[in-house]
Chains A and B, each alone.
Chain A
Amino acid sequence: MRRALPVMAPGIGSFRKERSRARTKPRPREERLVETHCCYCGVQCGMYLRVSGDGKVFGVEPRDHDINKMKLCPKGVTAYQQVNHTDRLTTPLMRDRRDQPLRPVSWDAAFDRVVSEIQTIQAKYGADAFAVYSGSSLTTEKCYLMGKFARVALGTKHVDYNGRLCMVSAAGANKKAFGVDRAANPWSDMLETDVIMLLGANVGECFPVATQYFWGARDRGAKLITVDPRETPIARTADIHVPLRPGTDAAFCNAVLHVIEREGLVDEEFIAARTIGWGQLREKVREYPPERAGKICGVDPALIEQVALTWGRADKAMAFHARGIEHHTQGVNNCLTVINLVLATGQIGRPGKGYGTITGQGNGQGGREHGQKSDQLPGQRMIEDPEARAHICRAWGITDEELPHKGTSAVEMVHQAERGEIAGWLGICNNPLVSMPNTDRIARGYDSLEFHCQIDFFLSETCVRADVVLPSTCWAEDEGVSTNAEGRVIKYNKAAEPPGEAKPDWWIVCEIARRLGRHADKFGFGSAREIFEELRVASAGGLADYSGMTYERIEQSGGIFWPCPSEDHPGTPRLFEQSFAHPDGLARFHAIDWQHPAEEVDDEFPLRLTTGRTVAHYLSGNQTRRIDALVQQTPSPWIEVHPDLGYSNGDPVRIVSRRGSATYPALVVASIRRDTVFIPYHWATPVAANLMTVDALDPTSLIPEFKVCACRIEPGVAMDETMPPPVPPGGQSYDFSRMTDRQPSAPQGRGTGRG
């Protein structure tokens, strides 16, 4: 430029321009639309992918699907940009020793190494020494296959999945109370309700498109109650917001039920006809007057009374919760106290009356019910149930002796690796170096492995520690089904060919099985459809019965709710209309006592740290931290602190817990409790929120307590640097340099007004 740029007023140049040259190209005139769904959260919004004449995915078009009615969140809008992303893995990577860099190798070389390592380790330490750790962002076919692969091809009991970090507490509570693990109602039921209570669910940011149901209900006059330590975007406008202390949900729900019981607002008729255990529970909640709970929760008892009366007097009411009450050492109990409330007031099994958890991962529901969970077999069957074992052995053509028993959970497996009890590891569709609690210990676990293979389509922080990395497809390059948070099964369609030598995950896993040779004939699948056909058979008669579904039916119907036991069955959108899934058809109350979180505050660590998501990113960020629009919206993490703590926006704040420390810029907000700080967890070391979190587990669900641990904060010196996500050898890292100011202006990211 000859001369300096003219004066630029704030924000007038904020086009949020796309970074890559290829992306700013004008759109081609030739296109076809491929019907599919979003790959991210449990809402599973319908969308069209725009595919050019030469078969490249180049854009997205809103789709008027039953679930989302054209709506998408910023992640959904930009999801397609993963497909032709320059960071994609296009060839297998391998190294002989961990101190070497990963280098591209042929598929044969990679498979030879994987197979020989598996055989060596299993011969040396036994079959269970090799673990499979899977994920729930895979299609249900792949989730099913991972369970079968671990148990049949490897013969190991150590298989688990990353839903263990997500919604297993709700799953455990639902099983206990209802006998089945699924949201009880389709979300459209919300439009008929009078009161919605939302506990520990930052719906506006984690499930933005689900917000339309909440707003739709409110437009028709429904009241919204939110329970969250932070005043999140959806809590901002709620009729009642309860900003309770993290880790006190059970006390709060008990107190709400206390008031309802005291006021005679329980549904005696429903309790008598359809439940067991009310007597014990009634005694228990009588121990929780609002004054006591108010002290525990750090909220005004009057607020609890108000919530109780609003809920108790409602003709129709629905409760939803998410990770906020589930990520606790008492996660299952927390969920049970919500279910108690729902059952005691008879608010279930009717339009406008219901309950559900909002699954965090796209296929969180489908991924946990077809046998990649350490204690389950396909169709939501329990692995120690002899009848279930017999059915699956028949479906798979193996003997009962060949089918391993219950294994350990995800975090436990990494800890076992640290202790040397697990020596080999196949990871797929997860990034525990960001997503598991107490990151340093997780890193030690992975580094202790003798062999570690990771399957992914981007090089994650976990992949860079592996010995072999196998390149797989993203969701747009393969077909398969996924089950959303409502229990609705939808289908992804293939829009493009995988880049380079990348292969579908099911092909990779089947190829390993074929080369291993153990039951090789059980892995002769040639397409996702073939796996789905076997899954239908395996799930038949189980709780999550998919046997009546076909790809064609799913596509024609806009999704089918399981159970769907025959091809003429319409599916089951609403559960519990007549009976619950326990053999006697009754639901169970559980008398729950509130317990302290695993780590209480003390003089040294006087604050509570809670972690969560922000709207622009998804899970460990391996996908979203590479998408330009999302990085521009939210380039790096921050620590949310209350104004009373004396910091200013942008100050470096060092947070210290018993496990780690990091320095973040402060985002000073009045929307958080003054005894609590918040960090979003999508980024890796040195700014990983999980450096600080505690790896204490819920005794039933084995979910880690991400949502509360003790910490202290102090003025920091230098901000810890957010590293760009890893890229394959020869790739170019994300360039933050054009962002002069990376400080978010709100929890939802940077406004377009500045920078």
Chain B
Amino acid sequence: MNDQPLDYSILPPDPGGARPTWDPSAAAAGLIATAVLALAIYSGSANLLHFDAALVGYTLATLFLAFGATYRLVTWSRSPAARRYLSKSRKALLPRPLGDGTLTASAREVTSTVLLQRFIAKRSRPRWLAHQGLFWGVILATLITFPLTFGWIHFRAVPGTGSGYYVYMMGVRAAHLDALSLLGWLTFHALDLASLLILSGGAYFLWHRWSTRGNSLTQLGRDLMPLLALMAISVTGLALTVSSVFMEGAWYQPLAFVHMCTVVLTLVWIPFGKFFHTLQRPAMAGVGLHKELGVQKGGVAQCVRCGEPVEGTIFLDDLKQTMGELGLGFGDWVETCPSCKRLERGAAYRNHVKEGYR
């Protein structure tokens, strides 16, 4: 058995593009995004009137997130392939004049890929269920906590009822809730529900990682931290509920601090690690539709060697442009199907390298 470790003395050239270099214009975009968010918080909370000072940590982390995510999105979209597909994706999804069906097509595309993530179900059903748990848990939590943190939503007790609350949105009284009603109970425990969704999905993924061998190049490490972060948020969040409902608030303050720490760290982490796919994937949601529309419009290109369909003509033209921009000088080679590329290379080897390899 070979037990020598891989011994690379020659490192390959720098993998271009993957190296982070400081990008001032992306930073500017990030600052603008941060400023816009700050302004929204300021005005949405009636000039910080409804802003809960205890939540300032969350707010700062979110502001950093706005900067980081924008910065990353801008640098990402600089790569020729991403830029081309971001714009094609947007165009494919943009509603066109009603009646030609593209609006429903877009809606279906978004539902299928962004909300239901049906491609995951095709890979593995249990994994899809678990991912849906994570996804909806995070969506629910985000929809509740961000407006609360920013002071965009706040509650005020209806005097004299004991359990009645007015709900204020952007400073305007929008609804009335009885905390003892089912709707009221759900509203005040929505975050607990979100935590449970996340925990059950996360538990599956943890078990899956633990019990099976995976691909360490694409999975381990990168994968585990985000998962643990989400689960830590959920556990500490649930602990807050337990403290207030069953323990008469014991340990509430230290728990709240720990919870905030987990959330802040996670928010700050989003632009850098696996979490970034939560922004990348929706941004690319229209690519499938774009390819399909492209085939309808431009037809399918046949392999120049075997005549079998290769891909949509428009797709290949896009790819050739991308390759040209990247300085890959064999863009026309895409007109040959991958199978024929291999056969041609095999023939070239037989004709020019090892003749007589009949």
Contacts and interface: CB of A to CB of B under 8 A. Distances in A.
Direct contact between the two chains A and B in their complex (CB within 8 A): yes
A7 B295 contact: yes
Contacts of A730: none
A444 interface: no
Interface string B340-357: 101100000000000011
Interface centre among A26, A27, A70, A236 (most CB of B within 10 A): A26
A27 B212 CA distance: 5
Contacts of B214: 26
Nearest to B288: A6
Contacts of B340: 10
A273 interface: no
A29 B213 contact: yes
Q: Which 7 pairs between the two chains have the least Cβ-Cβ distance?
A: A26-B212, A11-B339, A753-B339, A10-B339, A9-B337, A9-B310, A27-B213
Contact of B342 (A26, A27, A236, A753): A753
Given A2-B112, A753-B343, A754-B339, A7 B309 contact: yes
A283 interface: no
B291 interface: yes
A9 B308 contact: yes
A64 B1 contact: yes
A646 interface: no
B210 interface: yes
A753 B306 CA distance: 12
Interface of A: 2-3, 6-12, 25-29, 64, 70, 236-237, 753-754
A2 B109 CA distance: 10
Contacts of A9: 303, 308-311, 337-339
B211 interface: yes
Contacts of A70: 1
Given A9-B337, A753-B342, A26 B213 contact: yes
B19 interface: no
B108 interface: yes
Contacts of B1: 64, 70
Nearest to A27: B213
Contact of A28 (B211, B288, B295, B308): B211
B339 A29 contact: no
A11 B338 contact: yes
Given A10-B306, A29-B210, A236 B358 contact: yes
B357 A6 contact: no
A298 B342 CA distance: 37
B292 interface: yes
B237 interface: no
Contacts of A7: 295, 300, 309-312
A466 B37 CA distance: 81
A3 B108 CA distance: 11
Contacts of B308: 9-10
B218 to A, nearest CB: 14
A753 B342 CA distance: 9
A626 B319 CA distance: 42
14 contacts: A6-B288, A6-B291, A7-B295, A7-B311, A8-B309, A9-B308, A9-B337, A9-B339, A26-B208, A28-B213, A64-B1, A753-B339, A753-B342, A753-B343
A11 B341 CA distance: 11
B313 to A, nearest CB: 10
Contacts of B288: 6
A753 B211 CA distance: 34
Contacts of A8: 309
A2 B292 contact: no
A736 B310 CA distance: 26
Contacts of B357: 236-237
Given A2-B112, A64-B1, A753-B342, A10 B213 contact: no
Given A7-B311, A7-B312, A10-B339, A29 B211 contact: yes
Nearest to A237: B357
A2 B292 CA distance: 12
B310 A28 contact: no
Nearest to A12: B338
A9 B342 CA distance: 13
A687 B211 CA distance: 45
Given A9-B339, A28-B213, 16 more contacts: A2-B108, A3-B292, A6-B288, A6-B295, A8-B309, A9-B308, A9-B338, A10-B306, A11-B337, A26-B212, A27-B212, A28-B212, A29-B210, A29-B213, A237-B356, A753-B342
Contacts of B300: 7
A64 B312 CA distance: 48
Contacts of B295: 6-7
Contacts of B211: 28-29
A22 to B, nearest CB: 14
Nearest to A670: B358
Contacts of B312: 7
A25 B357 CA distance: 40
A310 to B, nearest CB: 17
A27 B211 CA distance: 8
Contacts of B311: 7, 9
